[in-house]
Chains A and B, each alone.
Chain A
Amino acid sequence: MVKGDMYLAQASDEEILKQGESGGAVTALLKFALDSGVVDAVLGVKKRDGNNRYDAVLDLITDPEKVIDCAGSLHCVSLNIARNVKEYLGGAKQMKIAVLCKPCDARAIIEIAKRKQINRDNLLLIGLNCTGTLPPVVAKEMLISEYEVDPNEVVMEDIEGGELIVTLADGTKIAKDLLELEKKGYGRRDNCRRCNVNIPTMADIACGKWGVKEGEKKTFTEVCSDKGAEFIDNAIKTGVIKVEPPGEDAIEERKRKDREAIELSNKCEAEDLKELREISLDDRLAYWLHMFDRCIKCFSCRDACPICYCKKCFLEPDRGYVKGGEVPPDRMFHLTRLAHDGDSCVNCGQCQDACPAEIPLTRLYLMLNIKLSPMFDYVSGMDVEQKPPLIAAKDEEASIDDIDIFLVKGEAGEVVPQQ
């Protein structure tokens, strides 16, 4: 097995196969990782109390038999996985952990690892394809008012071909147009609309259902690193998963779905940022100042953002930029965060989810990040070896006099960054 290899995988264990969202390969691999001692723990996502899809929790699992509790995909949660690893698991400096992650989680972890606050070497990143998560409370409302179903009857959600498909316990499937739902304020989280990284190739392995034939219980798996390759090789040897080559049509199908999802997100991005891009500078400033002045200075955005890296935060009064005891805070509050995180923002949406004032923070960060990305040839969260652009000055630059070199490059390459 080498980086880039792909195959269809299935859990050998009947119960895992049954409980798994696709082929249960992920659960089988995680169990193997614990059994074989490759990791000390698995960080999974599961329903609280085992029955509530709209209230998920992170679970640090050390007992291989408990991994199955996490089987299945929860679309109405977007837990702050990266920040949790950094904050509450000591940045994985003391233990080896297999972490389940959507692309945004994996990218956030990589950005933190660059800042030496997570030890990437101790992590086995099991990536899951993703085209969006839904805010849980709004999702429940949507299920009642738009789908006219009891949210507790739902056993599966899926985004496919521009539709949000909900499966009920009795097998009934109900599909509705995603963008129509979003026009009404339902659907995915605001940032997810514009997220264009669907396959987590920056993780060690990337797993998903794309490329799997309708009705088949298999997990399409791509090996994305040497570590992932070695791990999968061993798992296959012990027989915990069964694999077969996917075939050209399956690979093509997965590519096509990825492309379609990227097109959709580009369309949403163009739509969502259109007005902000077109209005005059004065109107744009008025808009953001108005938004900033809604801030109650709860610090949630800072505490949620995986990229916020300063050990001694510049938003604290003793740093001399933002006075204590003032609400709304000095605008330096928002601009400081933007200056520190804009280049490396992974559009995970954690800041906006956390904001009680409902400030559309990810729109501001994305608007800046889209401009910076081509300037510095930098897509955040892709490669742990790539330094953040502001500290990445290279010796060769000493022989380039043009002060606007990056700006010129940015203008020339202003396309939406792709993976």
Chain B
Amino acid sequence: MGEEVKGEFEPRIIGFTCNWCTYAAADLAGTARMKYPPNIRLIRQMCSGRVDPLFVLKVFLRGADGVFIGGCHPGECHYMTGNLSARRRYSMMKKLLESVGIDPKRLRMEWISASEGIKFSDTVKEFTAQIKGLGPGPFRHIETEGKEQK
């Protein structure tokens, strides 16, 4: 697991994951040795409600090929409505991306509870495959400093 096959496109996916659920599910998937592609790098948030749409935009502009948001199931958010707000923002962001011309399929959100290690690994597998299909993101050629490589 993990070696980049030369020539094959390996997506860079950023996953904003809630500490109480999806992040724990990722941990569970790891300790249970469930296989999932190494393309996703997780950024732990205290709640999916903390995922500012600007994080998603910045990450895309800095070269991510896909962005994933994972939160607690509705009714299970530790802060009551953080995930409900997150769903509204995610829905807005899908349309925002589409409006400027970034494929909205590059953004995905799922509810994954702490016990759903399998759902986590399946989602990452699926999403990675989908991003592979879409090819490199529109700002892939940009280095982390934000300077465009012309």
A residues bordering B, Cβ < 8 Å?
281-288, 314, 321, 323, 330-332, 335-336, 338-339, 342-343, 364, 367-368, 371-372, 375-376, 389-395, 397-401, 403-407, 410
Would B146 and A376 count as touching, CB distance under 8 A?
no
Binding site for A on B (CB under 8 A): 53-54, 57-58, 61, 73-75, 77, 80-81, 84-85, 87-96, 98-103, 109-111, 138, 146
Q: Is the CB of A338 within 8 A of B100?
A: yes
Chain B residues within 8 Å of A332, by CB: 54, 57-58, 61
Contact yes or no, B74 A397, CB < 8 A? yes
Of B74, B85, B110, B146, most A-chain CB atoms within 10 Å: B74
Q: How many A-B residue pairs have CB under 8 A?
A: 107
Across the interface, name the chain A residue whose C-beta is closest to B74.
A398
A343 touches B61 (CB 8 A): no
Interface contact A336-B75, CB-CB below 8 Å: no
Chain B interface, >50% SS class:
helix
B90 nearest CB neighbor, chain A only: A403
The binding surface of chain A is classed by DSSP as helix
Contacting pair B84 A398 (CB below 8 A): yes
Taken together as a complex, chains A and B put the C-alpha atoms of A287 and B100 apart, in Å, by 9
Beta-carbon nearest neighbor of A401 in chain B: B74
Q: Which of B80, B89, B90, B92 has the most CB of A within 10 A?
A: B92
Q: Do residues B100 and A342 form an inter-chain contact, with CB atoms below 8 A?
A: no
Q: Which residues of A contact B61 (CB under 8 A)?
A: 330-332, 335
A sample of 9 inter-chain contacts (CB < 8 A) reads A284-B101, A338-B96, A339-B54, A364-B99, A393-B81, A401-B111, A404-B91, A406-B87, A410-B91
Residues of A with C-beta under 8 A to B111: 401, 403
Nearest B residue to A403, CB-CB: B109
Which of B75, B95, B98 contacts A375, CB < 8 Å?
Answer: B95
* Interface pair B74/A400, CB less than 8 Å apart: yes
Residue of A nearest to B53 (CB): A339
**Most A CB within 10 A of own CB, among B85, B98, B99:** B99
Residue of B nearest to A376 (CB): B88
A339 x B57 contact (CB < 8 A): yes
Chain A residues lying within 8 Å of B77, measured Cβ to Cβ, are 398
Chain B residue at minimum C-beta to C-beta distance from A314: B54
